[in-house]
Amino acid sequence: MGKGKVGFSVMALLVILGLILGSSSASSDDRRQRWRKTMLSGEMMSSMMLNRIGSSIVFPLHGNVYPIGYYNVTLNIGQPSRPYFLDIDTGSDLTWLQCDAPCRQCTEAPHPLYRPSNNLVICKDPICASLQPPGEHNCQDPEQCDYEVEYADGGSSLGVLVKDVFLLNCTNGKRLNPLLALGCGYDQFPGRDHHPIDGILGLGRGISSIPSQLSSQGLVQNVIGHCLSGRGGGFLFFGEDIYDSSRVAWTPMSRELSKYYSPGFAELIFNGKSTGIINLLAVFDSGSSYTYLNSRAYEGLLFSLKRELSGKPLGETPDQTLPLCWKGKKPFKSIRDVKKYFKTFALSFISGGRTKTKFEFSPEAYLIISSKGNACLGILNGTEVGLRDLNVIGDISMQDRLVVYNNEKQVIGWVAANCDRLPKSKISFF
């Protein structure tokens, strides 16, 4: 949830929780049941209409890689509806808000804590089961589902699953108000470089993610995409009627790492030539500000970069922003001032067992200019932070590209795009 954060969540053992979300009278139960029926009826009507004419949902994004350290979206949730800022995370499934249930430990947040409805997700719900370790789906109370998620940066959230109304505006002008499951997090532990945020928007492949839930209700296709502007902001979308598929470079999602958005194994290419470094298992993670390579690839990249920089008017310099930075004769104002010294590298993926799809890293996709005017490498050693051999493509490397995760067709795609304005048609942002 902050600069350098890696968004991957890991399953934690089910803990014994004692949260009681209050009691209600029989009359309030009756009113709530009538309200649920009304909501479900509205969902069915919306589903029938959307299946007939199709639509997408587009969300403006705020934030940047540096100096803010993350991109967030505003979602309106609850009855009455209130806005919340959520860190977008394709590396995890569960959406959760810091929650006054009451809160045992919450971190600084931009809005008042979320107040849950009394609509608990029961233990036997498939969404509850999907968040538990395999073979350990046991609940102390069958009428509620406790959860705990941990992130690779050391952060965590513990709470209970509830359902509440999300207010969503479609590109066809329709407004949806589906009832979706989310986490009421009443015990949070901040990770490294924590930033104030209301919660996490889980965009992963699991059934608990918001896009998966919307798809299961027939409201939108299970297709997710984002366009992160290098100047800050951008947009997130659900559905596939706003981009031209023929313009996108596609590669199949990996079967080896089915939990995450992975195009599989890659070869590291530097300046158009093979480095001999192969079998790099890569994933896309919008919850990570920077890109992480395993030790072998990271050291190989550093070797190639430093060899190319030999004799250039740049010198390594200490900078608290990132581990490796370079300075010039005078402070750099933008990447344009320094990009001529740095080469493009790429991860080359085998697509369909035949052709190779390359994800290229131009200097803009791996450098930032620090507040001191130094050029700093936004590629970090993932092995040193506990990612082992996993290679993470983070926000810095996805800027000014449309990245699409098509769960319907099990493919990932990317294309250069204008991320500075919301799309109005399939071609308006290319």
Ranges of each domain in the chain: 57-238, 245-416
Instruction: Identify the three-state secondary structure at position 253.
Output: coil
pTM, rounded to two decimals: 0.87
Which residues are within 8 A (CB) of 405 and not within 5 positions of it... i.e. 6 or more apart? 90, 203, 205, 223, 224, 225, 253, 261, 284, 412
Give the CA dihedral 62, 64, 69, 70, nearest 10 degrees: 40
Please state, in angstroms and rounded to a whole number, the distance separating the CA atoms of residues 297 and 268: 7
pLDDT of residue 49: 41
Instruction: Identify the three-state secondary structure at position 210.
Output: helix
Q: Which CATH superfamily is domain 245-416 in?
A: Acid Proteases (2.40.70.10)
Q: Under CATH, to which class is 57-238 assigned?
A: mainly beta
What are the residue ranges in the chain where pLDDT is below 70? 1-54, 193, 352-354, 425-430
Residues designated as active site: 89, 285
Q: What is the pLDDT of residues 94-134, one digit of tens each?
A: 999 999 999 999 999 999 999 998 899 999 999 999 998 77
pLDDT of residue 29: 43
Please state, in angstroms and rounded to a whole number, the distance separating the CA atoms of residues 330 and 405: 41
The Cα-based distances of 283 to 50, 146, 258, 260, 345 in angstroms read: 31, 28, 10, 7, 17
Q: How many helices (H) and strands (E) does the chain have?
A: 5, 27
Please state, in angstroms and rounded to a whole number, the distance separating the CA atoms of residues 407 and 89: 16
The Cα-based distances of 185 to 192, 217, 399 in angstroms read: 19, 25, 30
Pairing type for strands 82-89 and 199-202 reads: parallel
pLDDT of residue 8: 59
Task: Establish whether domains 57-238 and 245-416 are of one fold.
Answer: yes
